[in-house]
Amino acid sequence: MVVLFVPMWSIELNAPQYPEGLGLSIYANKLGGNVDIINGLNHYIGMKTLHEKDFAEFIVLPYCIIFFSIFCLAASIVGRKKFLYTLLLFFILFGVLAMADFWRWEYNYGHELNPDAAIKVPGMSYQPPLIGYKQLLNFGAYSIPDIGGWIFILVGVLLLYVSIIAYRNSNSFNIFKKTINSSLIGLVFLLINAFACNPLPSAIKQGKDACSYCKMTVSDVRYGVVLVSQKGKNYVFDDAHCLASYLHSPENKNIKMGLIYFTNFTSLHLLINAKDAFIVKSQNLHGPMNGSFAAFSAKDSALHYISINTGSIVTLNELLQ
């Protein structure tokens, strides 16, 4: 289940003009990293721009992960060899199909080029490596599993290991069953505790949610903020200015602040934890309540915005002041 919340695959691009590198993180249901900058570069060489809505996999993959999570849980509880072998077979087939689909996407992505592109190199394709390193013009591309990918590999290895033990020795398999069932109880309690203590608010609904300070309906979700109190209550704001004003109001001094989430200014405008966000202050930003702040999930995206529109990166404390 952890794979639903962490990146599964990572593609890194290194070039002299980008000494810090560019990164593309592939989650089960979204893209992360320097998507905007990569799309800008792709435009010049005729490659397709990346848009999450174009990937049917982002709809299907979360259900596949949930399916295998339930299947693994059921296999450990039932404790039958045939159930385990079926799970292993399905898991291997899923892995092969997933990698084949990933290769197909990379092939189309690197070969289907716009003939009217500004930069054309005869016979050149830009297919990223399935795994490992590949030189693409002046960019070095690394493609490797990320946290979610390594979790899937580890699960596959463990399934194979337990299946071999089950096939060779029934007594050892029975010990595994008891150990796994005991561990599952502890895991369930840990997951419940983790989600209870770290509530994750849902995305702000434009045109439906109302600001907790100015009471206006959220008209532009890009500037939205969510404050989660220590008791787990969510306060929605249509602008960082409203958040600061709300916290400075005498009647709200007793609110114990837990976590703050900003809407990512780019991409799908998902919520990002304030401690992971890069906050930009710019006179070219015009929030619903005349705010001049926007949050970005990646530093490169924030710097790219500043290079075009001017501004500076500020801390959360500076914003709240």
pLDDT at 252: 80
What amino acid is encoded at 258 in this protein?
Answer: G
Please tell me the least confidently modeled range out of 61-75, 97-111, 179-193: 179-193
What digits encode the pLDDT tens for the residues 142-187?
888 988 999 999 999 999 988 888 888 765 556 556 666 555 556 5
pLDDT at 53: 85
pTM of this structure: 0.55
Q: Which residue, 283, 288, 278, is CA-closest to 309? A: 283
pLDDT at 111: 82
Q: Judge whether residue 226 has pLDDT over 90.
A: yes
Alpha helix ranges (H) inside 169-275: 170-197, 240-248
* Residues sharing a CB contact under 8 Å with residue 305, sequence separation 6 or more, in sequence order: 265, 280, 282, 294, 296, 311
Long-range pairs for 214-217 at CB < 8 Å and ≥24 separation? 214/238, 214/239, 214/242, 214/289, 216/288, 216/289
Q: Which residue, 177, 187, 163, 169, is CA-closest to 2? A: 187
Report domain extents, the chain: 2-197, 221-320
pLDDT grade, residue 282 (50/70/90)?
very high
pLDDT at 262: 94
Please tell me the least confidently modeled range out of 117-121, 137-141, 255-259, 290-294: 117-121
pLDDT at 67: 94
Q: Which residue, 290, 282, 23, is CA-closest to 146? A: 23
Report how far apart, in Å, the C-alpha atoms of 78 and of each of 71, 167, 310 are: 10, 16, 60
